[in-house]
Structure 1
Amino acid sequence: MTPPAPAEWTAVRRARLRIAVITGTIITLLVTVVGGVAHTVMVDAQNGQVWRELRHGAMYGDPARPPVCTWLYAPGVAPLSNAPAGFPLHADLAEARRTGEAVERTVERDRTVYLVRTQPRADGGVVQAVFDMRFQLADRSHLWFALGVAEVVGLLAAAVTGVFLGRRAVAPLAEALTRQHRFVTDASHELRTPITQVHTRAQLLVRQAADQDLPVPHRDRLARLVASTGRLGEVLDDLLRSASLAAGPARRGERRPVDLVALARSVVAEEADRVRARRLTVVVDGPPHPLYVEGIPSALRRAVGELLANAIRHTPERGRIGVALSRSGRTVVLAVADTGPGFEPGAVDQLFQRFHRGSGDGGRYGLGLALLREVVTRHGGSVAATGRPGHGARFTIRLPECPPPPPENQPPGNLPPMSP
């Protein structure tokens, strides 16, 4: 089963990752909210209980035998030996005597928190009760630790759940993409033979029409039929090449250093007949030494050939096409510029869409530039286009440079430049 193409498979992986992240975020938020609520409830409950016990002890407690974690200070009564330092608070005692009202205060000291209530009693005395919150604070720390452990477990569960849900949720999409590419491959293979037969028969009809001296309109229609079947065959070839790119990871063994200068000169030489027929001028401007990139030679030849074919198709008679090769840092740059009608700057992205219809007479439906971008990106490079209406177009390929092959494996030298 053929896997989806890289760009589409990347979208599938992103969808899975997005589902995992969303699931993890939701679980994290739930744990955080539950932890915050539990902490708030615990703090309120503990504070309420401690204040109630402290008020009762301040009003009725015996300073000589105070409740647990509580100390009572009263005039004439010696504090217990384990009483915390810094108490009683004499300012609060003086204020309670003066106003006759209880004074409550929270004091942070010695890495703990003390709740202090200074209470006037019915007998006219004033008692100050101090409660140590050490154990309550320890309970809160244990709660936060437990919540932290729960958060870690929740994140792990979220990751596993997210991956599981991502695979289950995106599986139909991945299966649909796989079936789509398999259908394209099978359909293209099945259609290639009958379309080739139709194209061949149409060519025979054109020759018979010329031999039988049929009227010009009939011969023109037959010529258009031949051109249409030829373009249909090109579309099928592009579909097959696009589907075969999905097997790219399995073809890494075919990658080897390719001299892009020699390859470009060879592609230009192959188009000599078309160039002469359109009376074009093609100039290859490259260094005298090789520029190596790592890749599949046939795929790179298809990419460079598409750029040149696109320039020939859109350049009017007696026009000029320039093929320039250079090195920029560790990148090999190949640029193809023509003197054709150009395009609107805002249409750059559309040029690389599948079956985009170009403007002008040279426009046609096809996969050429879309396939070109797939080939270049699969080789770790990029392709860009610039142009203006009436000022031609320029397509630039950038590919990472690689070391030359060993001397015994180097390909033959560059082909001589073509003379149009």
Structure 2
Amino acid sequence: MRFSQFAERTEVRLARLRIAVITAAIITLLMVMVGLVADAVMTRAQSDQVWRELRYGASRGDLSSPPVCTWLYADGVAPLANAPDGFPVRADLDRARRTGRAVERVVHRAGTVYRVRSQVRADGNVVQAVFDMRFQLADRRHLWYALGVAELVGLVAAAVTGTVLGRLSVAPLAEALARQRRFVADASHELRTPVTRVYTRAQVLARQARAAELPAEHRAGLDRLVGSVGRLGAVLDDLLLSATLTADPARPAERAPVDLAALAGSVVAEEAERAGDRGLAVTVDGAHRALYVGGIESALRRAVGELLSNAISHTPAGGRIEVALARSGTAVELTVSDTGPGFAPAEAERLFERFHRAGDGGRYGLGLALLREVVTSHGGTVTAVGRPGRGARFTIRLPSCAAPPVATGSTPVTAGRG
């Protein structure tokens, strides 16, 4: 798919943005993974350490002076003044006394977590050790806070890195596109003169062949040569126009109000002989009033001409082509409908791809792709609607503009109407 310069710049910016987003996402993912691993390692280490201290306190700790963050409960021993509420857990003490086995549990209470172990000591006393994990939980929160700060710093670094990487990695693409545009423009420009000369010489030879009454096969061969060279010249014109629009789609100095209705009438008049030769009826509706759009007249003429030429080429003898113009809000619409073979709805968008050929052998080549480039470079849209066997309808929608100022004592001049 080809892009105008605006579309190319948009695509380049999107490519840079994608690289920045992907870089940020990778850094974020790595930071989250590091955080999860660090949290898992810290949680496991804290849990093992707490259970070790708890088991030691339950089996050997001094009931009157237990380790830090630990409280020891036993029959006949008064708990410390700072002991948490709700302990000891009598059910665990009774179970340990009854079974002779240690009982361990985790208790969530008062916004913190307690680890509890009840067991029978070697001297026969039943002791319950309670460990408050509030400091361990605070360490975990501090860890995630530090990781959050690191994540913010990482995102800033990712944005900077992504921007730099995006520019470095996308720069060759942008340069390649620019080189491609220059090559197409230069090649098309350089080839136009010799192709024009060949075309003119072929026309002269064809006329001389008819005047000299050469054999029919020779005259037919020269006519085919004229047609082939003419089509080659048209392709070169398409490429040059495409490269010109792509290189500088705005070209404000060359833009002016263009009467699209008058222009369409003129194009229809130019194609009248060709349509008549094919036995087609061409009607124009809405060309009686001026409908101005801002743009480059030569480019818009090429776009309208492509639509009409496309319809003539794909409408069988005896068919009908309708060209309609109307104002729609702040835009001007030009619609070309035909009674040709149409196309599958799924092909509508792909018709505007260069050298795409529809599944039914329909429209293809540079023309419709160039048409879209012209229309989009003028801030408009083009759509295609069709169904197999029921014809096709192409609609160009362009922003309208005010009529050009008319100098005092002069008569406004617009494109000729057909």
Could you say whether these structures have the same fold, taking a TM-score greater than 0.5 normalized by the shorter chain as the test?
yes
Q: Deviation digits for residues 239-287 of structure 1, max 9, x if unmatched?
A: 0011112134542565566554343234323434444555543211228
Q: Which runs of no fewer than 5 residues in structure 2 stay unpaired?
A: none
Alpha-carbon distance in 2 for matches of 1:364, 1:211: 37
**What's the CA shift for 1:171?**
3.0
Q: Which runs of no fewer than 5 residues in structure 1 stay unpaired?
A: none
Matches within 5 A, 1:4-23: 5-23=5-23
**What's the CA shift for 1:25?**
2.7
Question: Which residue of structure 2 lines up, in the alignment, with residue 244 of structure 1?
Answer: 244
Alpha-carbon distance in 2 for matches of 1:250, 1:13: 19
Whether the 8 Å CA contact 2:4–2:377 is kept in 1: the answer is no
Alpha-carbon distance in 2 for matches of 1:364, 1:84: 84
**What's the CA shift for 1:101?**
2.4
Whether the 8 Å CA contact 1:283–1:322 is kept in 2: the answer is yes
**What's the CA shift for 1:333?**
3.3
Alpha-carbon distance in 2 for matches of 1:371, 1:389: 24
Alpha-carbon distance in 1 for matches of 2:388, 2:68: 90
Matches within 5 A, 1:106-145: 106-145=106-145
Q: Determine helix, strand or coil for the equivalent of 1:31.
A: helix
Counterpart of 1:336, as a letter, is V
Between stretches 373-382 and 383-392, larger displacement belongs to: 383-392
Question: Which residue of structure 2 lines up, in the alignment, with residue 58 of structure 1?
Answer: 58
Alpha-carbon distance in 1 for matches of 2:83, 2:106: 17
Whether the 8 Å CA contact 1:327–1:333 is kept in 2: the answer is yes
Whether the 8 Å CA contact 2:15–2:166 is kept in 1: the answer is yes
**What's the CA shift for 1:408?**
6.0
Alpha-carbon distance in 2 for matches of 1:299, 1:153: 51
Equivalent pairs, count: 413
Counterpart of 2:193, as a letter, is T
Counterpart of 1:116, as a letter, is V
Alpha-carbon distance in 1 for matches of 2:271, 2:133: 89
Question: Which residue of structure 1 lines up, in the alignment, with residue 195 of structure 2?
Answer: 195
Identical amino acids, percent of aligned pairs:
68
**What's the CA shift for 1:195?**
0.7
Matches within 5 A, 1:29-108: 29-108=29-108
Distance 1:264 1:27, change over 3 A: same
Question: Which residue of structure 2 lines up, in the alignment, with residue 284 of structure 1?
Answer: 284
Distance 1:135 1:344, change over 3 A: closer
Between stretches 322-331 and 55-64, larger displacement belongs to: 322-331
Between stretches 149-158 and 258-267, larger displacement belongs to: 258-267
Matched, 1:157 2:157: yes
Alpha-carbon distance in 2 for matches of 1:114, 1:365: 76
**What's the CA shift for 1:357?**
5.9
**What's the CA shift for 1:141?**
0.3
Between stretches 280-289 and 55-64, larger displacement belongs to: 280-289
* TM-score (ref. length: structure 2): 0.85
Whether the 8 Å CA contact 1:4–1:177 is kept in 2: the answer is no
Between stretches 387-396 and 50-59, larger displacement belongs to: 387-396
Distance 1:30 1:359, change over 3 A: closer
Alpha-carbon distance in 2 for matches of 1:413, 1:324: 22
Question: Which residue of structure 1 lines up, in the alignment, with residue 264 of structure 2?
Answer: 264
Q: Deviation digits for residues 267-319 of structure 1, max 9, x if unmatched?
A: 32343444455554321122865555554444333211211122233345554
Distance 1:408 1:132, change over 3 A: farther
Alpha-carbon distance in 2 for matches of 1:359, 1:73: 86
Alpha-carbon distance in 1 for matches of 2:161, 2:312: 54
Question: Which residue of structure 1 lines up, in the alignment, with residue 177 of structure 2?
Answer: 177
Question: Which residue of structure 2 lines up, in the alignment, with residue 217 of structure 1?
Answer: 217
**What's the CA shift for 1:150?**
2.1
Counterpart of 2:162, as a letter, is G
Alpha-carbon distance in 1 for matches of 2:415, 2:238: 27
RMSD: 3.3
Q: Determine helix, strand or coil for the equivalent of 2:321.
A: strand
Question: Which residue of structure 1 lines up, in the alignment, with residue 368 of structure 2?
Answer: 369
Alpha-carbon distance in 2 for matches of 1:250, 1:332: 19
Question: Which residue of structure 2 lines up, in the alignment, with residue 398 of structure 1?
Answer: 397
Whether the 8 Å CA contact 1:261–1:414 is kept in 2: the answer is no
Alpha-carbon distance in 1 for matches of 2:336, 2:236: 25
Q: Deviation digits for residues 35-57 of structure 1, max 9, x if unmatched?
A: 11111110010111111111111
Whether the 8 Å CA contact 2:5–2:249 is kept in 1: the answer is no
Q: Determine helix, strand or coil for the equivalent of 1:63.
A: coil
* TM-score (ref. length: structure 1): 0.85
Q: Determine helix, strand or coil for the equivalent of 2:83.
A: coil
